[in-house]
Amino acid sequence: MSFKPLSSLRRGFGMFWRAIDATRRTVLNLLFLLILIIIIGAMLGGGSTAIAPKTSLVL
């Protein structure tokens, strides 16, 4: 059985890169879902505040 150090090193870097890529995709997908939930929550929640008639805006 022959030992190929370059192929082992290449395989190791490939596994490392796949792990980094999977982590990146997972984090970005979770971030996207969080932003989506915040936007949907903001749209559905918090009704409008009733303003009394003949009210003026004071700055």
pLDDT recorded at residue 2: 60
pLDDT recorded at residue 3: 61
What residue type is 18 in one-letter code? R
Give CA separation, 21 vs 15, 27, 28, 34, 40, in Å: 10, 10, 11, 20, 28
Label residues 13-52 b or e (16+ Cβ within 10 Å = b): eeeeeeeeeeeeeeeeeeeeeeeeeeeeeeeeeeeeeeee
Over residues 5-43, the pLDDT tens digits come to: 778 888 999 999 999 999 999 999 999 999 999 999 988
